[in-house]
Structure 1
Amino acid sequence: MSSEDIPYAPDANRYWPDQITLYGVTLNLAPTKMANLPFERHFIRLAVVPIGSDDPQDPDIMAIAAVYGYAFEGQCYRYDKPKLLVFRPGVEEPNAKGCGFENLGYKMWQITKKTPIMELAASKDFAEEIVLNANLPGNRSPNTYGNNMALAHRGGRLNQGGGS
């Protein structure tokens, strides 16, 4: 059995039955405390700021992270592509252990199933792909197909016309 199959054993002093261990890298590091995402020879900067303030939060208070995998109930899982997540880590993040993430510069965070998390979806491609092709039949979310059915009239016509 390789280390990719074995999750890190939780600290017995902080064990939670519903614990999830996230593995990834912190993006909002000091000194700027902002995540820099490259785009067209520029950076898109993301920061977590308290309401009523312009000062970015430290990553130990609110982390913006690229998460590559997680462990839950003794099993390791990997995402097909990294997820950009914003969450309150709760405790200082140690270097990753278990699930094959050690000695690679990854961090790990231990959270519970009820930890609030925001997923940021970032895609980079040409407008043709992001705007046009994403709306072709077969590429849309299944719930959008039901909307077309709801717009059609029972007789096949949308409007019968006013008193004729």
Structure 2
Amino acid sequence: MGLSNLLMKLKLIRLKKRGLKIGENCKIYDAHIDYGHCFLIEIGNEVTITNSSILAHDASTKQSLGKTKVGRVVIGDRVFIGWGSTVLPNVKIGKDVIVAAGSIVNKDIPEGVIVAGVPAKIIGKTSDYIEKNKLLMNEVPVFSKPWDQKTENEMKEMYEKLENNIGFDE
């Protein structure tokens, strides 16, 4: 286990002690989960969060009103939150949702959709996206060894095969 993964694991233990609810088989990489209000956050099963922020508070009102806005965040099962996204307070994300990289989620998202943008808007159905990519796997390179186990030759081969193409990796 890399240092980054170990630190994230330790961070999650502290967050859970403060009330964060998190399901089984979650993969959380370099994410920021609101420490001060983590007890307002619930993360379902099989969720992946990559280098993103989950916020249950908004301090934009603190200086003027003396109070910070707060709200619950509920993330359903089998949600993928792409790199650099932010989930704001008072948001519920349904199950089987893909949040595209760099998105800002400021409203509830129904289940089974893909959202993208600032603010995030529905751009498609998760099931259609998965089916499209399942078919694509028959036409493009597919690699079957985890990134951290690839040899130098395998990395070179991958680099060459992806010169003008997308592919799929373990």
> What is the TM-score with the length of structure 2 in the denominator?
0.22
> What is the TM-score with the length of structure 1 in the denominator?
0.22
Name whichever structure is richer in helix by fraction: 2
Q: Which has the higher contact order (CA 8 A, sep 6+)?
A: 1
Name whichever structure is richer in strand by fraction: 1
Report the structure number with the largest CA radius of gyration.
Answer: 1
